[in-house]
Amino acid sequence: MKINHVVVSGVSGSGKTTLGKILAADLGWRFLDADDYHSPEAIQKMARGTPLKDHDRKQWLEDLNAELRSSRHTVLSCSALKKQHRHALSWNTSLFYIWLDITQELAIERIQNRKNHFMPPSLIKSQFAIATAPRKGLILDASQRPDELLSQCKSVLNR
C-alpha cells in the first residue's frame, strides 16, 4: 500500500499531536498540526467555550488540504471529526486515516492536565456529539502509550 499522507484524527485530548509527531519523525516525513492553522477568530471562539460550526471550519480545512497537496509526505494531526471534514481534507489527494478512539472521561482528564492550549474541557462533549470514526483506515485505542500506538501504526503502514 503506497501512502503519502497520514491524518491522525480524533477528539481533543486523544493524543493526535503526540502520535503525529513521533510517527512523522519515525517516517522522516513533514509534521503538521491542524491547530496551527485555525484562524484567530476560531481560536477565540473555542477558548470562550463555543463549539465551531462547519462554516467556521471551511477555510481551515481548505488550507490544510492545500498544505497536504503541496507536500510529498505528511503526517497531519487533525480532529477530522465528521465525514464531510475528511472529504474536504482529502480533495484531490489520497489520505490514510488513523483514528484515536478515547473515552469522554479520559479526553476530559487529558485536557484538564494540558497547559497553554485554547481548547477547554467543556467542549469535549460537543466533539463527541459529532464525531464519527472513518470507515477506512486504522482505529487505535488512545489509552495506550504513544510507543505502543506507534508500533501498531508502523505495522500497518509498512505493509
At residue 158, the pLDDT reads: 80
Cα-based distances in Å from 15 to 46, 65, 139: 19, 21, 13
The strand pairing partners of 5, in sequence order, are 74
Q: Mean pLDDT, consecutive 10-residue segments, the chain of 159 residues?
A: 88 95 96 94 89 91 95 95 94 92 94 79 88 94 97 88
Q: Is the overall model pTM greater than 0.95, yes or no?
A: no
At residue 62, the pLDDT reads: 95
Range of the domain at 61: 5-157
d(CA 87, CA 83): 6
User: What does the buried/exposed string (b/e) look like for 65-85 if buried means 16 or more CB atoms within 10 Å of the residue's CB?
Assistant: bebbeeeeebbbbbbbbeeeb
Q: How many domains does the chain contain in total?
A: 1
At residue 6, the pLDDT reads: 96
Question: Could you tell me the CATH number of the domain that includes residue 28?
Answer: 3.40.50.300
Which residue type does 81 have? L
Burial of 5 (C-beta count, 10 Å sphere; 0-12/13-18/19+): buried
Residues 61/9, Cβ–Cβ less than 8 Å: no
At residue 25, the pLDDT reads: 97
Grid coordinates standing for 31? Answer: 509534521
At residue 148, the pLDDT reads: 97
